[in-house]
């Protein structure tokens, strides 16, 4: 089996107690059945503590929603007591993500992690492959997989070489035509498409929409409100645009190929384009341009809340400001 991943993943290291937004705080942490059985077999005082800290197959969060095994130094007591190999699967994997196809496993590191976000915005997007042991993968159409893989390669190429806004507008138009063909059972590329025409930008409605989603960080809606009330902002710098290209590539790589299983690609291209716009707009209007903090916070609120990302993908077909023309309008003021 081939394992495909962004090259920057090789540099990823958890920064543990140096992390300012620990993944051991504020998240519900489920324990996989195999690890749960192992924890139940541990004897002594630490075994008793393990069982007191687990209920219903998950860790019982304490004050400020801290995992009960996150100590005062910001380190994991399970890691220090039992070793890294005995962390539950979600703790061992995070912030890594994976997707399985026939003969191929794709993976990366998620933007919601402070250390991963720094890597993503500071590293050129390059994919690597290596052989790994075979793993079970869900079935899918080989023809559709081949089509979407080539489509993703072309969009990533455009995102790297073309002017940022032009690349995103082209991607929206191309994906809309490709989605139409797929819906009609035609697995062929569209002819080269003109950039998506833009409607009048509606930044206020978009920011209001995001403020109305489920909130993990109570300060997040306030940040969006600040951006909504801004009447002017400094233009993006060249360095910021480079970072936004890398963020767009992250979203395309992570989500686009899921269309192999459900036939849905347009909403995922819109996710990439809107994510670039929101992060870029927040950089411009909040004085935090080019830093990893805004992309990390955006990812945590949208990507890592299942209700929010599902709501967004549905809304790309329901809200006027999330039509391809509406998103193109937003990009005209980025």
What value does the mean pLDDT take over residues 182-197?
90
Together in a domain, 177 and 47: no
Report d(CA 52, CA 29) in Å as an integer.
15
Residue 83 lies in a domain: yes
Spatial neighbors of 286 by CB under 8 A, at least 6 apart, are 223, 226, 227, 294
> Token pair 């219903």 is at which residue?
56
Residue range 198-216: mean pLDDT, rounded:
94
Per-residue model confidence (pLDDT) at position 46: 93
Mean pLDDT of the chain: 93
Alpha-carbon span 325 to 239, nearest angstrom: 27
Residue 127 falls within a domain, yes or no? no
CA angle 82, 87, 92 (to 5 degrees): 140
Share of the chain above pLDDT 90, in %: 81
Examine the domain organization and report whether 154 and 261 are in the same domain.
Answer: yes
Which pLDDT belongs to residue 192? Answer: 78
140-to-54, 114, 119, 136 alpha-carbon distances in Å: 38, 34, 32, 13
pLDDT level of residue 282 (50, 70, 90 thresholds): very high
Q: Which two three-digit tokens encode residue 160? A: 């790297």
Neighbours of 93 (CB within 10 A): 13
Within a domain: 232? yes
Whether the predicted pLDDT of 231 surpasses 80: no
Residues 165 and 59 in one domain: no
CA atoms within 13 A on the CB side of 1: 15
* 203 and 284 housed in the same domain: yes
Q: Which region, left, alpha or beta, applies to residue 26 given φ > 0 means left and ψ of -120 to 50 means alpha?
A: left
- Predicted confidence (pLDDT) per residue in 33-67, tens digit: 999 999 999 999 999 999 999 999 999 998 788 99
Residue 79 lies in a domain: yes
> Rounded to the nearest 10 degrees, how much is the dihedral formed by the CA atoms of 224, 228, 234, 237?
40
Instruction: Give the DSSP letter of residue 150.
Output: H
Q: What is the mean pLDDT of residues 11-26?
A: 85
What is the structure's pLDDT at 232?
Answer: 67
In angstroms, the CA 207 to CA 83 distance is: 44
Residue 59 and residue 70: Cα distance in Å, rounded?
A: 11
Answer yes or no: is 44 within a domain: yes
What is the model's pLDDT at position 234?
A: 80
Co-location of 166 and 269 in the same domain: yes
Residue 7 lies in a domain: no
pLDDT at 315: 97
What 8-state DSSP symbol labels residue 87? S
The total number of structural domains in the chain stands at 2
My answer on whether 210 and 320 are in the same domain is: yes
Q: Please give the pLDDT value at position 229.
A: 82
Could you tell me the residue range of the domain that residue 35 belongs to?
Answer: 24-93
pTM for this entry = 0.93
Question: What's the confidence (pLDDT) of residue 289?
Answer: 63
Mean pLDDT of the 73-98 span: 92
In a domain, 199, yes or no: yes
pLDDT of residue 171: 96
Residues 259, 176 share a domain? yes
Tokens of 16: 């543990």
């Amino acid at each position: 089996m081939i394992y495909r991943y962004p090259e920057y993943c090789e540099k990823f290291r958890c920064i543990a107690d140096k992390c300012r937004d620990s993944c051991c705080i504020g998240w519900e942490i489920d324990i996989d059945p195999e690890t749960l059985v192992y924890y139940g077999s541990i004897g002594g005082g630490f075994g008793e503590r393990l069982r007191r800290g687990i209920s219903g197959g998950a860790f019982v969060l304490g004050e400020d929603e801290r995992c009960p095994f996150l100590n005062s130094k910001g380190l994991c007591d399970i890691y220090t007591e039992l070793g890294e190999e005995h962390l539950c699967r979600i703790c061992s994997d995070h912030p890594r993500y994976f997707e399985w196809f026939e003969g191929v496993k794709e993976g990366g590191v998620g933007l919601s992690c402070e250390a991963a976000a720094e890597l993503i915005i500071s590293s050129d997007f390059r994919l690597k492959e290596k052989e790994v042991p075979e793993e079970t993968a869900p079935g899918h159409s080989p023809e559709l997989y081949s089509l979407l893989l080539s489509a993703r390669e072309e969009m990533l190429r455009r995102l790297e070489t073309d002017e940022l806004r032009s690349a995103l507008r082209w991607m929206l138009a191309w994906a809309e035509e490709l989605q139409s063909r797929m819906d009609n059972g035609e697995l062929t590329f569209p002819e080269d498409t003109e950039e998506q025409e833009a409607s009048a930008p509606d930044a206020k409605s978009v920011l209001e929409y995001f403020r109305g989603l489920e909130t993990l960080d109570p300060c997040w809606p306030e940040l969006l409100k600040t951006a909504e009330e801004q009447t002017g902002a400094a233009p993006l710098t060249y360095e910021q645009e480079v970072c936004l290209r890398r963020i767009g590539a992250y979203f395309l790589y992570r989500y686009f190929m899921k269309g192999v299983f459900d036939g849905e690609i347009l909403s995922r291209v819109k996710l990439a384009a809107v994510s670039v716009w929101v992060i870029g707009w927040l950089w411009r209007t909040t004085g935090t341009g080019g830093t990893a903090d805004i992309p990390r916070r955006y990812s945590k609120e949208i990507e890592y809340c299942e209700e929010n990302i599902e709501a967004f993908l549905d809304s790309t077909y329901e809200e006027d400001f999330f039509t391809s023309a509406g998103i193109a309008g937003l990009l005209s003021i980025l």
